Chain A
Amino acid sequence: MRRLRATLRAVAESILAAAIGLVVAGFILKAWGYSPISAYIALFEASFRDLYGIAGALANATPLILTALTFAVAARAGLFNIGAEGQMYFGALAAVAASLFRLPPGLHLLVALAFAGAAGVLWSLVPSVLRATRGVSEVISTIMFNWIGRYLAFWLVANVLVDPYRAEKTITVLPGSRFPTLVPGTDLSYAIFLAVAVALLVYFLLWHTVTGYEMRAAGANPDAARYGGVRSAGVIVLVFLLGGITAGLAGATQSLGRPPTYAVYSGLPQISNLGFDGIGVAMIGRNHPLGIIFAAVFYGGLQSGARVMQLFAGIPLEMVRVVQGVIVLALALPELLRIFRILRRRRVELGGER
């Protein structure tokens, strides 16, 4: 009962924050001379009205679920891992690299995914060790690794994995290691099931294993966790390990399961910012794997709707990220719902205590 009420409050806060985000972005649209109301109608019609719209939303949600999990797992354990972006690049490229050789279909997909997860972990290793042994802030180290990773990914695309016939992209992933398309004619593939399954697994890990219990304890009260015998270095390593895997898989869903391109292009246009957007999605989903699924679909819907909006109304796609930024800012306020009540009370009891 109480748990239900807490959940409802978290949901209500996220919805309120989303509303604030849309309203503030509406003002910005207005300031640039667009009509926010017709823009929003177009946006939501495009994204949630028919199967194609929904498929688009889910396709966009797929990588976001996974990068959001990277952030959420860390946040639950009291860490601020913003390294999903870089880890995701290497996941995408490692999955492509698996097509340098040939394996039976199906098995090839599994191997490519394993590559991706391993690559993500590899790229999270240094920040993880620096934090666990030297106490170097993961905020700075993961951001630096994102940038280092970005340039290395550029290099890998241009030099190592480059398509011998088309210099602007990597080799194309072999059909045997691709995710099958789920809704023909859309870019939604079976990768969405992977993302949802991983979210459910993470949920299971956090709330149904002792390991998850200890991670959450370390995040909720480090002193009590120490009293309860939790070793913080172990938690740190585990958090980065899991984060690396999910971020790596996020990248893989884009190179293996996002028709029509089964390759990574130079400049990383299809995958840039998926890691950062995942942070916002995690916050909207309140760092809960199930909340993240819904938040990712919501945000994915905004993205695909915005694409349509850009096409027909000429409103820049990036408007969506403005909405997301405002939502996150709204969520930074402690106990968002209470603010209205406090403001009301302030007016009533002027004076009060000192």
Chain B
Amino acid sequence: MTLGYFWSILFLSLHAMVPITLTAAGEVVGERAGLFNIGLEGILLLSAFTGALGAEAGGWPLGLLVGIGTGAVVGLFFGLVNAYWKGNQLITGVGINLFALGFVAFGLQALGTPGFHDVPRDVRLPAIQTPVGGLSPIVLLALVVPFAIHWFLNRTRAGLWVRAVGENPEAADVAGVPVELVRLLATTFGAALAGLAGAYMAISWMGSVTKEMAAGRGFIALATVVFSGLRPILTLAGGFIFGFFDSLATWIANIPGVKEAVPWQFVSTIPYIATLLVVTGVIGRVRFPKALGVPYRRE
């Protein structure tokens, strides 16, 4: 009985962890390169929508690809505006979020049911069957990606470049590193991972698309980046903590007895309160790249 609870909450948490960890790990790469993307929320939503459409057109592999591609395209745009044209990163991010909110709501309504779209079971990503329930393969991927990013950032020359352009673009420039290009690619990569996360939500985890499905996860991912201190492996821990509180809400709401005593609305606030507490707790101890958010201009 108790063990059953343990497994069920672990499984719920792992699935809830995925979008946050993937998005945060990607954003770590972008922020390490010096770009701060608050449009992640919008990317999650957009790619959930396009990913679902892709899956319905050509099965789940196409769905995942379209989701990743959507994220990459938005990231490319974000990178062009901010790395090359020295635009305003915060405004661009807000624009992406507003656009996504409108576009997805528009698309859902155009598809028929306003605000909701069900992804047919046969085009969803098949789950791995385990004794305790179905496990999405993306969960396994999300467990690996942060390690891969850690390796990339710390062990490869390209990773060195990414960190250099975020920390000291002048030094990187003097060393012959193409600062703008590296920033563009880094933020595009990060956005593509957010795209994967969005597609995962639509065609694997939730199996549906709604206007509000991102539910602040893009921002929680930003908070996770803060929590991790921009260390990719720690986005696993951060993602799991938030995933745990996220699923705790679902779980508590279904316990007989508790359900009646504690309003579900209160339970739903848990992940956000947890996020706020964690960010408040770690702030000041986190060291951000020196050139984060600062456009690079040669003297």
Q: A residues bordering B, Cβ < 8 Å?
A: 28, 32, 80, 82, 126, 130, 134-137, 139-141, 143-148, 151-152, 154-155, 158-159, 273, 276-277, 279-280, 283, 316-329, 331-334, 339
Contacts and interface: CB of A to CB of B under 8 A. Distances in A.
Contact of A143 (B87, B88, B219, B280): B219
A147 B100 CA distance: 18
A316 B105 contact: yes
Closest 3 CB pairs of A and B: A325-B99, A321-B102, A316-B109
A316 B268 contact: no
B276 A141 contact: yes
B128 interface: no
Q: Say what secondary structure dominates the interface of chain B.
A: helix
Given A134-B283, A332-B91, A333-B81, A151 B266 contact: yes
B280 A134 contact: yes
B149 interface: no
A147 B102 contact: no
A279 B94 contact: yes
A339 B215 CA distance: 35
Contacts of B92: 329, 332
Given A134-B280, A318-B109, A332 B103 contact: no
Interface string B73-100: 0000100010001111011101111111
Contacts of B269: 147-148, 151-152
Given A135-B283, A151-B269, A326 B95 contact: yes
B139 interface: no
A283 B275 CA distance: 28
A143 B98 CA distance: 14
Chain A interface secondary structure, helix, strand, loop or mixed?
helix
B226 A329 contact: no
B284 A134 contact: yes
A141 B90 contact: no
B100 A135 contact: no
Contacts of B91: 283, 328, 331-332
Given A135-B283, A329-B81, 19 more contacts: A28-B103, A80-B90, A140-B223, A140-B275, A144-B272, A147-B215, A147-B272, A148-B273, A158-B263, A159-B263, A277-B98, A318-B102, A318-B103, A324-B99, A325-B99, A326-B95, A329-B95, A332-B95, A333-B85
B222 interface: yes
A112 B19 CA distance: 42
A329 B109 CA distance: 23
A147 B216 contact: yes
B110 A325 contact: no
A322 B110 CA distance: 14
B264 to A, nearest CB: 8
Contact of B101 (A148, A273, A333): A273
Given A332-B87, A332-B88, A322 B266 contact: no
A144 B109 CA distance: 27
B55 to A, nearest CB: 19
Contacts of A151: 265-266, 268-269
A165 B55 CA distance: 45
B279 interface: yes
A321 B279 contact: no
Contacts of A316: 105-106, 109-110, 114
B134 to A, nearest CB: 28
A136 B279 contact: yes
A140 B109 contact: no
B276 A329 contact: no
B38 interface: yes
A134 B286 CA distance: 13
Contact of B265 (A126, A154, A276, A317): A154
B105 A155 contact: no
Contacts of A339: 85
Q: Which among A32, A279, A318 has the greatest number of chain B C-beta atoms within 10 A?
A: A318
Interface in B101-123: 101-103, 105-107, 109-110, 114
Nearest to B295: A334
Contacts of A280: 94, 98
A141 B98 contact: no
Contact of A32 (B90, B110, B215, B275): B110
B265 A283 contact: no
A243 to B, nearest CB: 16
Nearest to A280: B98
B284 A155 contact: no
A329 B96 contact: yes
Contact of A325 (B85, B102, B226): B102
A276 B98 contact: yes
A112 B102 CA distance: 32
Contacts of B219: 139-140, 143-144
A328 B284 contact: no
B98 A317 contact: no
Nearest to A154: B265
Contacts of B114: 316
A144 B276 contact: yes
Nearest to A273: B101
A280 B100 CA distance: 13
Contact of A155 (B77, B265, B280): B265
Nearest to B103: A322
A140 B226 contact: yes
A291 to B, nearest CB: 15
7 contacts: A135-B284, A136-B283, A145-B276, A147-B269, A147-B272, A319-B102, A323-B102
A139 B215 contact: no
Counting chain B CB atoms within 10 Å of each CB, the highest count among A130, A331, A333 belongs to: A333
A28 B87 CA distance: 24
